[in-house]
């Protein structure tokens, strides 16, 4: 890094107006009126790859790019650039005004020439020129606006990623990860409020045969068809999810076992009467259902276990039927 202090008789290459007048910070500023202050500023050459500001370090100067390019990087000096700054942009002003350490690395992308204004000189220029103070406010407001925009983009991306982690990409229903979380919350809430709560597990009959015979794209269409019927047969407060593979789950808060069995039968009948539209025509689906109601001392796993036992019994009875856990004989303990 090479230091080139501005000589007493003014900047190299002409007047301050000619040299700095095009910079945003000096727009409409009477540079002749503050020439004595600018005489104490410095111009420095920065080699490519040099770190101008270090994240977490103390900073006491604002750096204005006269020539070259600087990258702003978060977390590490070799991280991907958050943004690139060209001629006229400045860095370091936020750490001076906030009296906080530098919040990011600033690295020269190529050889750059900078005007360096120390903090005491900066405050002197602010006091001497209202126009400079106003320009600095514009730069700061633009920096805040850009940060807000990046924050909004980041939040939106996080929301998309969060949704992707909870939603099944084929059916658009919530997935098993989501179900495990919500099932426990619903169980606790209904138990605390003394409300009934039922769970339906649904399995597509002979789904492997569909995939083996017609291919996975037809299998995906079958899954989408089931998901559509689950939407049609449930209330807005009911919660449907793809449990995994060809199995689905429907949570029914406030619904007892008898009503849940009725809802399950309606789902089964609707699905049986509909066809999955394929390139070769229509494909008829049937489903088996296991239904269970939450008992006072049941855990979420207890409820799942009871519904799964009922589903197994539905398959044992020949499939295309709904069985409730209340129809099963209790398991005898040895």
CB 241 within 8 A of CB 173: yes
Q: What is the token pair recorded at 52? A: 């101008």
Q: Are 84 and 25 in contact (CB under 8 A)?
A: no
Contact predicate 18/66, CB 8 Å: no
Structural domains of the chain sorted by starting position, each given as residue range(s) with its CATH number in brackets: 2-157 (2.60.120.10), 176-327 (3.30.70.270)
3-state helix, strand, coil in the chain (%, to 5): 45, 25, 30
Q: What is the pLDDT along the chain (334 residues), one digit of tens a residue?
A: 555 545 444 455 568 888 898 898 999 999 999 999 999 999 999 999 999 999 999 999 999 999 999 999 988 999 988 889 999 999 998 888 888 899 899 999 999 999 999 999 999 999 999 999 998 888 887 777 776 676 666 566 555 555 556 788 899 898 988 888 888 888 888 888 888 999 999 999 999 998 898 888 889 989 998 998 888 888 888 999 999 899 999 999 999 999 999 999 999 999 998 877 666 667 889 999 999 999 888 899 999 999 999 999 999 999 999 999 998 876 644 4
246 is catalytic: yes
Q: Please check whether residue 1 is in contact with residue 50, taking contact to mean a CB–CB distance below 8 angstroms.
A: yes
Please, are residues 309 and 203 in contact by the beta-carbon 8 Å criterion? no
- Claim: this prediction has a pTM higher than 0.75: no
Of 40, 35, 32, the closest CA to residue 5 belongs to 40
Catalytic residue among 246, 295, 298, 308: 246
What digits encode the pLDDT tens for the residues 256-265? 999 999 999 9
The 8-class DSSP code of residue 7 comes to P
Residues 6+ apart with CB under 8 A from 148: none
Cβ neighbours of residue 44 closer than 8 Å, sequence gap 6 or more? 1, 2, 3, 4, 113, 114, 116
* Residue burial 78-109, b: 16+ Cβ < 10 Å; e: rest: eeeeeeebeebbbbbbbbbeeeeebebbbbbe
Any idea which residue has 């299998």 for tokens?
219
């Amino acid at each position: 890094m090479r230091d080139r202090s501005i000589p007493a008789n003014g900047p190299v290459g002409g007047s301050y107006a000619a040299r700095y007048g095009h910079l945003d910070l000096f727009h409409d500023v009477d540079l002749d009126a503050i020439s004595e202050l600018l005489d104490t500023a410095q111009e420095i050459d920065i080699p490519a790859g040099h770190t101008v500001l270090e994240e977490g370090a103390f900073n006491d100067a604002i750096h204005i790019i006269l020539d070259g390019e600087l990258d702003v990087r978060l977390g590490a000096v070799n991280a991907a650039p958050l943004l690139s700054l060209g001629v006229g942009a400045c860095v370091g002003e936020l750490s001076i005004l906030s009296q906080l350490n530098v919040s990011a690395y600033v690295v020269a992308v190529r050889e750059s020439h900078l005007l360096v204004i120390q903090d005491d000189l900066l405050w002197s220029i602010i006091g001497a020129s209202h126009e400079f103070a106003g320009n600095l406010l514009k730069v700061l407001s633009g920096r805040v606006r850009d940060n807000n925009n990046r924050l909004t983009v980041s939040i939106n991306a996080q929301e998309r990623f969060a949704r992707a982690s909870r939603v099944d990409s084929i059916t658009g229903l919530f997935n098993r990860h989501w179900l495990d979380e919500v099932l426990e919350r619903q169980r606790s809430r209904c138990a605390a409020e003394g409300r009934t709560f039922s769970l339906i597990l649904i399995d597509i009959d002979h789904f492997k045969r569909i995939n083996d015979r017609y291919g996975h794209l037809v299998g995906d269409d079958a899954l989408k068809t089931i998901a559509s019927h689950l939407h049609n047969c449930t209330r807005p407060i009911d919660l449907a999810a793809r449990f995994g593979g060809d199995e689905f789950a429907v949570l029914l808060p406030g619904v007892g076992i008898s009503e849940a069995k009725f809802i399950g039968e309606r789902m089964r009948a609707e699905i049986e009467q509909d066809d999955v539209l394929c390139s070769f025509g229509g494909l008829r689906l049937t489903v088996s259902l296991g239904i269970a109601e939450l008992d006072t001392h049941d855990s979420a796993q207890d409820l799942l276990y009871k519904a799964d036992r009922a589903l197994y019994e539905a398959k044992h009875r020949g499939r295309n039927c709904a069985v409730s856990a209340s129809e099963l004989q209790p398991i005898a303990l040895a």
